Amino acid sequence: MSNHVHAVLRSDPVTPWQWTDREVAERWLALFPGSISDRDDPAYVERATLALLGNAERLDVIRQRLGSISWFMRALNEPIARMANREDDCTGRFWEGRFKCQALLDEQAVLSCMAYVDLNPVRAGMCETLRDAEHTSVRYRLESAQSAIAKALGKGKQEEALKPVAGLDVDTLSDLTESSYIELVRWTGLQAHPDKRGKLSATEEMPPESLWSVAKHPAEWMERVQGTESNYYRAIGSAESLMLKAVELGQRWMKGVSGEFALTKLREQPLLCHRSLTACWTSR
Mean pLDDT on 105-113 = 89
Mean pLDDT on 59-80 = 93
Confidence of residue 276 (pLDDT cuts 50, 70, 90): very low
Tens of pLDDT, residues 124-144: 888 888 889 888 999 988 888
Kindly tell me if the per-residue pLDDT of 92 is higher than 50.
yes
Tens of pLDDT, residues 162-211: 876 665 655 556 678 888 889 999 999 888 655 556 666 555 567 888 88
Rounded to whole angstroms, the Cα distance separating 255 from 236 reads 9
Mean pLDDT on 213-238 = 86
Confidence of residue 116 (pLDDT cuts 50, 70, 90): very high
Kindly tell me if the per-residue pLDDT of 25 is higher than 90.
yes
Query: HSE-up of 284 (CA within 13 Å, CB side)?
Result: 11
Mean pLDDT on 34-63 = 84
Alpha-carbon 175 to chain mean position: 18
Mean pLDDT on 95-123 = 89
- Per-residue confidence (pLDDT) for residue 277, from 0 to 100: 31
Residues 6+ apart with CB under 8 A from 143: 131
- Per-residue confidence (pLDDT) for residue 54, from 0 to 100: 92
Rounded to whole angstroms, the Cα distance separating 43 from 13 reads 31
Mean pLDDT on 153-168 = 62
Confidence of residue 252 (pLDDT cuts 50, 70, 90): confident
Tens of pLDDT, residues 1-22: 888 889 898 888 999 999 999 9
